[in-house]
Amino acid sequence: MAINVKVMERPVGEVSYVRATLKGLALTLKHLVDPHRVTIQYPEEKWDLSPRWRGTHRMLTTEDGKAKCVACGLCPTVCPANCIKLVPGEDEVGNRYPLVFEIDEFRCIFCGYCQEVCPEEAIHLGRHYENAEFNRAQFVYDLERLTAQTHPVSTLWDPADPRGE
Amino acid sequence: MPLDPMQLEPAFWPFLIATVVKMLVVFTLYMVVVAYSTLAERKVSAWIQDRHGPNRVGPWGLFQVLADGVKNFVKEESMPGDVNKPTFLLAPAIAFTMALTAWAVIPFGAPLPTPWGKVDLIVADAPIGVLYPLAITSLGVYGIVLAGWSSNNKYSLLGGLRASAQMVSYEVAMGLSVVAVLLLMGNVSLPQVVALQAAGGWNVVLLSVAAFVFMVSAFAETNRVPFDMAEAESELIAGYHSEYSAMKFSMFFIAEYANMLTASAMFVTLFLGGWDIPFTDWDTTGPATVAKALATFAIFAAKIGAFMFFFIWIRWTLPRFRYDQLMSLGWKFMLPVALLYIVIVSTGMLLLDVAGVARGSGTYFLAFLGLNVVLMGLLFVILDRGRLISPASSRLERSRVERLRAVAAARSSIAAGEVR
């Protein structure tokens, strides 16, 4: 025995190896026959997302299928990650609409400021997380893709109802 | 009564063919069971840890074994630059073969009647019996030591050294615990040991201290937790098989489970009555039938399965020993206990013989039962007070503690003086 091993003086009742072993075996057997499984079998079962889950974006549309966006430019301004690219356009009656609206989902930090700042409630974060693609270019979502998304959108945190009740 | 050819010993050629068939069947079954025991290990460990375990390949993950096999066959074999090639290649084969060969003398069922004669369900009824698996399993240490040495890696070498010291130490205790069995049985032939247990009670009751020592030594011999010092991933990466990959690694993996299976079979045969069905004489008396052979084989498999489960259960319960604890347990506890037990058993047998109690009778059984209850009580109540696993949590003599503390205090004051 090395001299530096710390020597503990313990009561006789606590130094029994066999007793501790039996106790441990009983514990593991208890878990074996009565498992408290928390694993979610992912592709078959899915987890319930919080209503405030902030995932990849979705652009809501009007009844005639056009994006609600009026190209006001608030979201690219407020975006802390600078991930929204917006080029505004104007039609013959003077309605503004986005010519180009692209969100780089790799740059996005999913803060939700764009949804919060949007006066038309057009851009939203989605309650969605399965985003895999085959190449990096496909993570830049254009307007067509943003409007085509169908997943539920996230609700903003309401200070008056902090628990979402 | 006319002689039934199905109850007679077979002639030479049928005997030879039967032996070859038995070898093939045992080998195939053995490999399948070894493969599935890896799955069992993963499943049981998962259940103990509140997980699901592998469940993607096939129903309940049952084809996981095939997937692992295919993976190991098609993986790249990496060969480190400075290894000693012949021994590096030989080591996994030795580890695996030795685990497999020990099975030859294990009887796995009641005799099977065939039109060509009565076939004993044992590959080789060698007259040296129990000594053969002891000899063969101790050769298995070469696989580990050579793997550790030829890898040219300090962690592998340390793993191999630890394994050799550990296996040699526990072999002594294991051999001595088997001596107690041989004393009581008066025979080294394993079929005889099984027959005597079927007649006179299982050895786990008659010789429970020897069974305990054998069980602990079996854990150490197979390098399983809590004695897996040879792998000790927290200290030695993966110990002796750090440098192995693909199928060569898989061979060590198979060898580990094969060793477990062999140790289980040894324990079952020596202490749990082998293929004997408890509480009935149906299986051991009267002419051999196919039903008897199948039923006894099933009960033998069930006993082995239970012991394999115990191996796995222990692994996912206990932490690893420190190396000095392992050595002091082996030499200072297991060895004296096994030696003392031989003396006690032989004294008990002598006294019973002098008193005129017949071997295998009920009185004999009860006398040994009482003796073992007392001895197990002594073992676990008196000896297990901090002496079983020493010394970190042991009761040392007060003077020694004082001396150690004085030394430690002197050291720390010297160290403090140097800093100043």
Measure the CA–CA gap between B207 and B177, rounded to whole angstroms.
Answer: 9
* Identity at B350, one-letter amino acid code: L
> Would you say A165 and A52 are in contact if contact means Cβ atoms under 8 Å apart?
no
Q: Does A17 touch chain B (CB under 8 A)?
A: yes
Dihedral over Cα of A6, A9, A14, A19: its sign: positive
Residue A121: inside a domain, yes or no?
A: yes
CA nearest B306: which of B215, B217, B213, B368? B215
Comparing CA positions, the residue from A135, A151, A149, A158 lying closest to residue A52 is: A158
- Flag whether A99 is in a domain: yes
Give phi and psi for B367, each to the nearest 5.
-60, -45
Q: Which residues on chain B are in Cβ contact (under 8 Å) with A32?
A: 44, 47-48, 313
Q: Locate tokens 């356009």: which residue?
A: A89
Cα B78 from chain centre: 31
Total count of residues recorded for chain A: 165
Testing the interface with B: which of A8, A14, A28 to mutate, by most B Cβ within 10 A? A28
Distance from CA of B219 to the nearest CA of A (A): 15
Q: Which two tokens stand for residue B261?
A: 């299976």
> Using the beta-carbon criterion (under 8 Å), do B51 and A37 form an inter-chain contact?
yes
User: Cβ contact (<8 Å) for A3 and B313?
Assistant: no
Residues of B in contact with A9 (CB under 8 A): 395, 401
What gap in Å lies between CA A39 and CA A138, rounded to an integer?
31
Q: Give CA–CA dist B276/B257, Å, rounded.
A: 24
Q: Residues 6 or more apart from A9 whose CB is under 8 A from it?
A: B395, B401
Judge whether B66 and B57 are in contact, CB under 8 Å: yes
Q: Looking at chain A, which residue has its C-alpha nearest residue B47? A: A32
Q: How many CB pairs under 8 A join A and B?
A: 76
CA distances B393 to B322, B325, B385, B404, B407, Å, are 12, 11, 10, 15, 19
CA distance B319 to B328: 17
CA-nearest residue to A28 within chain B is B48
Degrees to nearest 5, angle at CA B259 with B255 and B265:
145
Q: How far apart are CA A14 and CA B4, in angstroms?
A: 64
Q: List the beta strands (DSSP E) in B203-341.
A: none
Residue of A nearest to B54 (CA): A41
Do A1 and B391 make contact, defined as CB atoms within 8 angstroms? yes
| Inter-residue contact B151 to B88 (CB < 8 Å) | yes
The secondary structure of chain A, three-state, reads: CCCCCCCCCCCHHHCCHHHHHHHHHHHHHHHHHCCCCCCCCCCCCCCCCCCCCCEEEEECECCCCCECCCCCCHHHHHCCCCCEEEEEEECCCCCEEEEEEEEECCCCCCCCHHHHHCCCCCEEEECCCCCCCCCHHHHEECHHHHHHCCCCECCCCCCCCCCCC
Rounded to the nearest angstrom, the minimum Cα separation between A15 and chain B is: 5
Q: Does residue A26 belong to the interface with chain B, where contact is any CB pair within 8 Å?
A: no
How close B179 gets to chain A, by Cα (Å)?
25
> With contacts defined as CB-CB under 8 Å, which chain B residues touch A3?
404, 407-408
Sign of CA dihedral B212, B218, B220, B223: negative
How high is the pLDDT of residue B392? 45
Pair B104, B132: CB distance under 8 Å: yes
pLDDT on residue A77: 92
pLDDT for the residue B1: 47
Q: Which helix (H) or strand (E) holds B110?
A: strand B109-114
The C-alpha of A134 sits at a distance from chain B's nearest C-alpha, in angstroms, of: 24
Among A9, A28, A38, beta carbon nearest to B48? A28
Query: pLDDT below 50 — which residues of chain A?
Result: 1-2
Report CA Rg, chain A: 27
pLDDT tens-place values along chain B, 420 residues long: 456 666 677 777 878 888 888 889 888 988 889 889 989 999 999 888 888 888 888 888 888 888 988 988 898 888 888 888 888 888 888 888 888 888 888 888 877 777 777 777 888 888 888 888 888 888 888 888 888 888 888 888 888 888 888 888 888 888 898 888 888 888 888 888 888 888 777 888 888 888 888 998 888 888 887 887 777 777 777 778 888 888 888 888 888 888 888 889 889 988 888 888 887 777 777 777 778 888 888 888 999 999 999 989 998 888 888 777 788 788 888 888 889 899 988 888 888 888 877 776 777 778 778 888 888 888 777 666 655 555 444 455 667 777 878 888 888 887 777 654
Residue range of the domain that includes A60: 55-148
Q: Quickly tell me which residue has 């060698």 as its tokens.
A: B126
Alpha-carbon distance A13 to nearest alpha carbon in chain B (angstroms): 8
CA B195 to chain centre: 21
What is the CATH classification number for the domain harbouring A140?
A: 3.30.70.3270
Q: Do B395 and A15 touch (CB under 8 A)?
A: yes
Find the residue in B nearest to A1 (Cα).
Answer: B324
- Give the rounded distance of the alpha carbon of B32 from its chain centre: 19
First to last CA, chain B: 101
Asked whether the beta carbons of B166 and B229 are under 8 A apart, the reply is yes
* Phi, psi (rounded to 5 degrees) for B248: -70, -40
**Which residue ranges make up each domain of chain B?**
5-327, 394-420
Q: Alpha-carbon distance B231 to B224, whole Å?
A: 9
Q: How many domains would you assign to chain A? A: 1
Mark yes or no for CB contact B48/A19 under 8 Å: no
**Chain A hits for B44, Cβ within 8 Å:** 32
What is the distance, to the nearest Å, from the Cα of residue B306 to the centroid of all Cα atoms in its chain? 13
Among B385, B392, B407, select the one facing A3 at the smallest CB separation.
Answer: B407
Distance (Å) from the C-alpha of residue A73 to the closest C-alpha of chain B?
49
Instruction: Give the per-residue pLDDT at B10.
Output: 73
CB B232 within 8 A of CB B322: no
